[in-house]
Structure 1
Amino acid sequence: MKRLLLLLALTGGTVLARPPKLETHLQPTVFAVTMVMIHDVVNPPAASRFYSYCLLGAHELVSGHSAIPSPAAFVREFHKPELNRTGNYQLAALYCILETGRLILPSGYMLEEEEAKLLAALRKEGYTEKELKAAVVAAEEMAKKVLALAATDEYSRLSTRLRYRPLKGEGYWYPTPPGYMEGIEPHWKTIRPMLIDSCSQFIPRPPVPFSKDTTSAFYALTREVYSEGRNLTEEKRFIASYWDCNPFAINTSGHMSIGFKKISPGGHWMNIASLATAQAGISFDKSVEILSLTAMTLRDAFISCWDEKYRSSRIRPETVINRLIDSRWQPLLQTPPFPEYTSGHSVISTAAAELLTFFFGDRFAFTDNTEVLFELPERRFSSFRAAAAEAAISRLYGGIHYRDAIENGQEQGYRLGQFVVEKLQKNGVRPAR
């Protein structure tokens, strides 16, 4: 009755339609979290962890509605929490994304302004103070429970582990120019996965062995990277730049080094998932489920990939080419600060594509606008798998990966993605179509 009176007062006696669906707020809410991570220069594995927790509480809040199963059914160590009455659970879920981000991100305080903006927008749409207050209380309660789970996943112990030192030997990874940064997250395999069984569940085929022999398979892989880099077409240059997704990019001029902040590979796929749910007109509840499971899949794919990276610790093409072929050669993209095998973008993109294909089908065409923020145009893809395949091969064009790291990374991601899909199906998760 209060809602009706408010609407009558605002419209001079004409009854307005129900407030706009909350789906319209979902993508900008998730992207607000992304923007804070870009500000903080969060590394790719850590970004996937933050996404998984920011969406988990919202996922739990919508579970039980519209046949959305509770993540407690399949997320490791997550138990369905007891909550007080949530009121409008969708409002609570939306606010919970921001509140969890506020609590867990290094610069989470920046989301306080986003929370205030969201509440102001919801007031204009006709939600009452009572509804909003109840939603905020429920969201804060859920966010605290999510943070309690996050505190047990081994992340807090990473800084206490021994400092990583590159392995001795010609074929092992060594820091690359221009920053010569230390290896990022060498102990990431110790982070608890959410959906897969362990970090080593999807160990890929071994990399081609290092060799300086000009007739060897490894030397052929290296020559391919070198040749691609010297003969790039404009299309290949664009593809490499489009999927760069390197939060560590540094531009040097004399003695000055200038950092460029970019979205992470996981952030790119989170935005693709958001775009797909909006394009398909998916309900709020199902959209939250899809985004949450995308984040979990990305998280586990990074854990699997990083397990292999620091097991094989393979040398980057830039280092080999500069030593054996051309001392002045530089890759189009800046080499990321961690070992080469397997290709991270190949693993996580393929895994995410398999999950999204399960939800939307293999013929779901979409327009990706993720890189518009970084002055690159929108890009049209015929399917998620097509986008993932382009992301993978972009690493060869960019000069930062050998072909076997790409192809074996795709296989690794495919196996992981298929495992996740099968597990979710067994626990009642259904396609969006």
Structure 2
Amino acid sequence: MIKIISVFFLILYSATLGYAQKNKKSLPDYLQLDKTINAISAVMIHDVVNPPAAARYYNYVMLGAYNLTALNNKEIVRLADFVKTYKDDNQLNIEKGKYNYQIAAIYCMLETGKQMLPSGFMLQDTEDKYIKLLKDNKIDDDIIKQSIAAAVEMTAKVIKYSKGDNYNKLSGKLRYTPIKGGKNWYPTPPTYMEAIEPNWKTIRPMLIDSSNEFVPVRPTPFSTDSTSEFYKQAYDVYKVSKNPPMEQVTIANFWDCNPFAVTTSGHMMIGFKKISPGGHWMNIAGIVTKKAGLSFDRSVTVLTLEAVTLMDAFISCWDEKYRSNGIRPETYINKYIDITWTPYLQTPPFPEYPSGHAVLSNASAGVLTYLLGDKFAYTDDSEVPYGVGPRSFKSFYEAAEEASISRFYGGIHFKDAIVFGNKQGRLVAAKVIEKIKAAKIPRQN
């Protein structure tokens, strides 16, 4: 019998972001959005939430906070003004002025996570600690009570909206049946997990028009001929894994973000729970809003737009993954080049083309560049809890480029999946920016 042990680094609610960075302004400790994101991410790590689903949860967690902010700050554009499917009335039964909308926004994030995540009940302790924090900061008891009531009411509106995105229909759809041999994706060692979210393209997008709006060019034609372009791509992956320089190893580790990582020791399989790719970019958004010294309301705007972008990037990417249904380098190399070869990173359980990191990282970089500027330098400590980093970047696109090539260094993607994934991600970003520009959402710094 194989024994599986799950291990993960719990991201504490009291943890902070922004390694060795100073804030231009300092919000009170009870309005620190990054701490709230960390608490929600910790539950997702515990639940081993897959990457597309994690992006969906971040999206809805932020919507309520954004709605509460827009309801109380006329400078914040209403969600319905740029998300055409959002038509719910956000008016609350509690009068403005009788609650603190920023406190309500924080609590709403926690409450939405508590109600939506499989192990959301774990956030009850975080909510209790948050209330204690408010009291320690001498916030009036009635304001706390009314703010919580406003948060709970808004959470109900967001959850009602979330139920229309087709997520609850996924379990009724046909499961993916792998085809062994040939050009198609097949489960990879060591766990041979089944395909993750083969029907994700049916999820309702937020700002892009449809899942297939940005279909990339066709991947390199499959071939076993040693003179073919496909074989050359596979051999490039094989070669890069031979005595890689330490910088490549560091980059691969830093952007690994694999919630399914498993290592073997004899007959034992040890699972390491990690943050998802979307969680990493949400962490980056938290870091840079603090470094920029943004107000609470503008920080909520940036985090919400990042979460919305992640949601749409995964929908667009997953649409193509199961259309092309490409074989992974590990499967091809083991069969046609070297049966003993293993990639540096564990191959995640879904098809090859395009690279998810390439798509979502470039989509994120595009939107964050629009919101905060082209030359926004920052230090990313997202992977410190997992023994990697921090790393510094001169811009969001520099980070996206590194995230993309990390999949090649890690041995889990061919080059064309990265190149065309980058392009697809930038197209997603352009559409998101087009929508938020039309809604007159300006740069935030």
Q: Which runs of 4+ in 1 moved over 6 A?
A: none
When structure 1 is superposed on structure 2, of 241-250 and 222-231 the one drifting more is: 222-231
When structure 1 is superposed on structure 2, of 121-130 and 47-56 the one drifting more is: 121-130
In structure 1, the partner of 2:254 is: 242
Q: Structure 2 matches for 1:314-353, cutoff 5 A?
A: 314-353=326-365
Question: Are the equivalent residues in 2 in contact too, given 1:42–1:247 (CA < 8 A)?
Answer: yes
* Secondary structure at 2:201 match in 1: helix
AA aligned opposite 1:333: L
Aligned CA distance change for structure 1 residues 20 and 48 (closer, same or farther; 3 Å) = closer
TM-score (normalised: structure 1): 0.94
In structure 2, the partner of 1:82 is: 91
Q: Which has the larger radius of gyration?
A: 1
Displacement of 1:24:
4.7
In structure 1, the partner of 2:404 is: 392
In structure 1, the partner of 2:381 is: 369
Aligned equivalents of 2:329, 2:115: Cα separation in 1? 39
| 1:405 aligns to 2:421 (yes or no) | no
Displacement of 1:232:
1.0
Q: Structure 2 matches for 1:162-311, cutoff 5 A?
A: 162-167=174-179, 170-311=182-323
Q: Which digits, 9 at most, give the CA deviation of each residue in 1:333-363, with x for residues without a partner?
A: 0000000000000000000010100111111
Q: Which digits, 9 at most, give the CA deviation of each residue in 1:7-50, with x for residues without a partner?
A: xxxxxxxxxxxx95367521101110000000000000000000
Higher relative contact order (CA 8 A, sep 6+): 2
Question: Are the equivalent residues in 1 in contact too, given 2:237–2:414 (CA < 8 A)?
Answer: yes
AA aligned opposite 2:90: P
| 1:67 aligns to 2:67 (yes or no) | no
Aligned CA distance change for structure 1 residues 407 and 300 (closer, same or farther; 3 Å) = same
Relative to its length, the structure with more helix (as a share) is 1
Question: Are the equivalent residues in 2 in contact too, given 1:66–1:285 (CA < 8 A)?
Answer: no
Question: Are the equivalent residues in 1 in contact too, given 2:359–2:424 (CA < 8 A)?
Answer: yes
Q: CA RMSD in A?
A: 1.3
| 1:95 aligns to 2:107 (yes or no) | yes
In structure 2, the partner of 1:114 is: 126
| 1:358 aligns to 2:366 (yes or no) | no
Displacement of 1:254:
2.2
Aligned equivalents of 2:269, 2:203: Cα separation in 1? 32
Q: Structure 2 matches for 1:130-169, cutoff 5 A?
A: 130-167=142-179
* Secondary structure at 1:380 match in 2: strand
Question: Are the equivalent residues in 2 in contact too, given 1:318–1:400 (CA < 8 A)?
Answer: yes
In structure 1, the partner of 2:11 is: none
Q: Which digits, 9 at most, give the CA deviation of each residue in 1:194-248, with x for residues without a partner?
A: 1110000011111001001111111111110000011311000010010000000
Displacement of 1:191:
0.5
Aligned equivalents of 2:396, 2:146: Cα separation in 1? 38
Q: Structure 2 matches for 1:9-28, cutoff 5 A?
A: 21=28, 24-28=31-35
Question: Are the equivalent residues in 2 in contact too, given 1:332–1:398 (CA < 8 A)?
Answer: yes
Question: Are the equivalent residues in 2 in contact too, given 1:22–1:284 (CA < 8 A)?
Answer: no
Question: Are the equivalent residues in 1 in contact too, given 2:407–2:413 (CA < 8 A)?
Answer: yes
Aligned equivalents of 2:288, 2:185: Cα separation in 1? 37
In structure 1, the partner of 2:21 is: none
TM-score (normalised: structure 2): 0.91
Aligned equivalents of 2:339, 2:180: Cα separation in 1? 21
AA aligned opposite 1:89: Y
AA aligned opposite 1:238: T
In structure 2, the partner of 1:8 is: none
Aligned equivalents of 1:197, 1:362: Cα separation in 2? 26
Displacement of 1:151:
1.0
* Secondary structure at 1:400 match in 2: coil
Which of 422, 427, 432 pairs up with 2:439?
427
Aligned equivalents of 1:268, 1:168: Cα separation in 2? 33
Q: Which digits, 9 at most, give the CA deviation of each residue in 1:37-69, with x for residues without a partner?
A: 000000000000000000000001101516110
Aligned CA distance change for structure 1 residues 210 and 430 (closer, same or farther; 3 Å) = same
Aligned equivalents of 1:20, 1:229: Cα separation in 2? 45
Unpaired runs of 5+ residues, structure 1, are 1-18
Question: Are the equivalent residues in 2 in contact too, given 1:222–1:320 (CA < 8 A)?
Answer: yes
Aligned equivalents of 1:367, 1:93: Cα separation in 2? 27
AA aligned opposite 1:412: Q
Displacement of 1:72:
1.2
Aligned equivalents of 2:303, 2:224: Cα separation in 1? 45
In structure 1, the partner of 2:17 is: none
Question: Are the equivalent residues in 1 in contact too, given 2:31–2:103 (CA < 8 A)?
Answer: no
